[in-house]
């Protein structure tokens, strides 16, 4: 389902973080959201997810305005893989994944056998079937992130927001996470908006890119076209170059060692 953001202005208290932003994220595509710390990536995600009310502008998913929808209805449309994942209590991984189905389960009810089978199946797809009975808090950062991904998939929403899913992950796990997302977007046709700090991951895995700087959109469109030296330098404010390796892959490298 396509996500449309029109004339969005939002912030916290008296401080405005996003200034008149308009972007459209195409259905069944991975859109990378890149920008420096404090550029408004997480704020934009919060607005799309209906958690932060914008002071101006509209957000709609497949023509349905988020501001007019109830929490449960938003959860059926949009799922979130959060940046941090800590629970003060020791839930098992399966219990964590099952929580993804909350918007389908009546408040006085609990997950039925069908929900449990479905959650176990998703854990198998994500490759964490061996973790289901283990306490969530005892997992490594990478394993926790995969469980969070499984929970978002169990939510079964057509739009997925991933807020820095690679934070705290080592190099192989970063690529594992992105490759899984690529696979699920292809198989399930979901629309994914992913905030990334590494432009190389955006270059390798995303279809589209939205580049933010100080709360405004520098560029938005196909990654292959827009993720170039000029735009990257505009966003990060330093000399950055997109090189082509001998194997033909594009890589983003900083020119200035003090970058």
Q: How far is the CB of 132 from another protein (least distance, A)?
A: 12
Cα–Cα distance list, 233 to 88, 155, 213, 256 (Å): 41, 37, 11, 12
DSSP state of 116: H
In the complex, minimum distance from the CB of residue 231 to another protein, in angstroms, rounded to a whole number: 30
For residues 89 and 171, which CB has a smaller minimum distance to another protein in the complex? 89
The nearest distance, CB 92 to another protein, in angstroms, is: 5
**Which residues face 196 on adjacent strands?**
34
The backbone torsions φ and ψ at residue 58, rounded to the nearest 5 degrees and listed phi first, read -130, 150
Give the Cα separation of 169 and 18 in Å (integer): 28
What whole-number distance in Å separates Cα of residue 109 and Cα of residue 241?
55
Q: Which is nearer to another protein, 35 or 111 (CB)?
A: 111
Q: Compute the half-sphere exposure of residue 154: CA atoms within 13 Å on the CB side of its CA.
A: 32
Nearest distance from C-beta of residue 107 to another protein, angstroms: 6
Give min distance, CB of 103 to another protein, in A: 3
* CB burial of residue 101 (10 Å; 0-12, 13-18, 19+): buried
Contact 75, 157 (CB under 8 A): yes
Residues that bind another protein (CB under 8 A): 13, 46, 49-51, 70-72, 74-76, 78-80, 82, 87-92, 95, 99-100, 102-103, 105, 107-111, 135, 137-138, 155, 161
Q: Which residues, listed in sequence order, are joined to residue 211 by a DSSP beta bridge?
A: 34, 219
């Amino acid at each position: 389902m396509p996500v449309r953001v029109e004339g969005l202005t939002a912030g916290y208290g008296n401080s405005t973080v996003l200034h008149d932003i308009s972007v459209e994220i195409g259905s069944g595509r991975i859109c990378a959201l890149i920008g420096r710390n404090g550029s408004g990536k997480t704020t934009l995600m919060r607005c799309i997810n209906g958690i932060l009310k914008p002071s101006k502008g509209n957000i709609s998913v497949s023509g349905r305005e988020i501001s007019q929808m109830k929490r449960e209805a938003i959860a059926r449309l949009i799922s979130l893989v959060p940046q941090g994942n800590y629970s003060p209590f020791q839930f098992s991984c399966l219990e964590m994944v099952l929580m993804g189905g909350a918007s389908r389960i009546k408040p006085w009810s609990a997950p039925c056998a069908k929900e449990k089978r479905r959650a176990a199946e998703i854990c198998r797809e994500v490759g964490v079937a061996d973790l289901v009975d283990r306490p969530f808090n005892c997992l490594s950062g990478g394993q926790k992130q995969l469980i969070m991904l499984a929970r978002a998939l169990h939510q079964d929403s057509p739009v997925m927001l991933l807020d820095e899913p690679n934070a705290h992950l080592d190099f192989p796990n970063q690529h594992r996470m992105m490759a899984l997302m690529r696979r699920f977007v292809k198989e399930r046709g979901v629309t994914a908006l992913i905030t990334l700090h590494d432009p190389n991951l955006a270059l390798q895995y995303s279809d589209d890119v939205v580049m933010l700087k100080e709360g405004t959109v520098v560029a938005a469109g196909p990654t292959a076209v827009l993720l170039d030296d000029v735009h990257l330098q505009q966003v990060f404010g330093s000399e950055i170059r997109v090189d082509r390796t001998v194997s033909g892959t594009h890589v983003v490298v900083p020119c200035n060692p003090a970058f």
